[in-house]
Amino acid sequence: MTFEKEQALSILIIEDDHTERVALETMLSLSLLSFDNVESAETMATAIQALSETHYDAVVLDLDLPDSKGLDTLDRISKTFPDVAIVVYTGQYNEHDGLCSQGAQEYIVKGYMDIPVLTKSLCYAMERKQIEQKLSQTMDDLENANRRLQDIVRVVSNGLKASLCDVKVLVEGLQKDHVDKNSDESKKHIDLLCQRVGHMQRLIEGVLEYSKVGRE
C-alpha cells in the first residue's frame, strides 16, 4: 500500500454501537480526506467477511465487539489482514497499553475525538503501515542477499578447499620422494609451504562454518 493524502480512501468502521458508528461516519464525511468507500461492520464475523471481499486502506476498530473482546480483537484483525492500517477506537485509557506492539498503528480514546483527531489518526496509521511494510521488505531483501552471499562463499570455499588438498598432497609427495635429495634450505621451504597450506585450510574451514550460521 502506498499512501498519498490526496488519494481516495476506502475505510471500514468496525463498531457495534450505532451512535458511535454514525458519529464516526459523520466525522469522516466532514474531514478534508477524500473517500472512495466508507463501510461499517458490527461484529468480528462481518468485519472479517468485509475485509476478505474488499480492499480497505484502514479500519477504525472498536476492541469490544459482540463476538470478540479486548486485545484478541486487535490480534485477529492484524494477523489475518496484515496489510491494512488499524486505528483502535478505545473507551478506556489503559486499553492503549501495548496496542502498537499488538498490531495497531494508532489509537483514539472515545470521548476525546473530533474531526482533526480522526483525520490525523488515519493519516498517521496509514503512513506508519507503509513504513512498516517497507522495513519488512527491506529485511526480507537483506536476508535473501545474505543467503545468496552465503551460497557464494560456500561454493568458492569448497573449491579452494579442494584445490588446497591437491596442493597438500603434491607437497607431501615431494617431501617423501626427495627426502634425501633436498637441501636443508629446500626442506625448510617445503615445510613452510605445508604449514601455509594447513593454515589456509583452517581459514577455509572457518569460513564454511560461518556460512552455515542461520541455516541450522
Would you write out the chain's pLDDT as a tens digit for each of its 216 residues?
445 556 789 999 999 999 999 999 999 999 989 898 999 999 999 999 999 999 999 999 999 999 999 889 999 999 999 999 999 988 765 555 567 767 899 988 888 889 999 999 999 999 999 898 888 888 888 888 877 877 777 777 777 777 777 777 777 766 666 555 556 666 676 777 777 777 777 777 777 776 666 555
Using only C-alpha atoms, what is the Rg of the chain? Answer: 32
Burial label, 167 (beta-carbon count in 10 A; 0-12, 13-18, 19+): middle
The amino acid that residue 150 corresponds to is Q
Asked if residue 41 belongs to a domain, the reply is: yes
Regarding whether 147 and 120 lie in a shared domain, the answer is no
The amino acid that residue 30 corresponds to is L
Are 17 and 62 within 8 A, CB to CB? yes
Asked if residue 2 belongs to a domain, the reply is: no
Q: Which residues pair with 13 in a beta bridge?
A: 40, 60
Q: Where are the alpha helices (DSSP H) in the chain?
A: 18-30, 44-53, 71-80, 99-102, 115-177, 184-211
Q: And the C-alpha cell for 175? A: 617431501
Q: Tell me, what DSSP letter sits at residue 65?
A: B
CA distance 189 to 192: 5
Asked if residue 26 belongs to a domain, the reply is: yes
Regarding whether 125 and 59 lie in a shared domain, the answer is yes
Regarding whether 157 and 76 lie in a shared domain, the answer is no
- Please state the pTM of the whole predicted model: 0.66
Range of the domain at 55: 9-138
Asked if residue 18 belongs to a domain, the reply is: yes
Distance from chain centroid for Cα 190 = 53
The amino acid that residue 108 corresponds to is I
Regarding whether 23 and 127 lie in a shared domain, the answer is yes
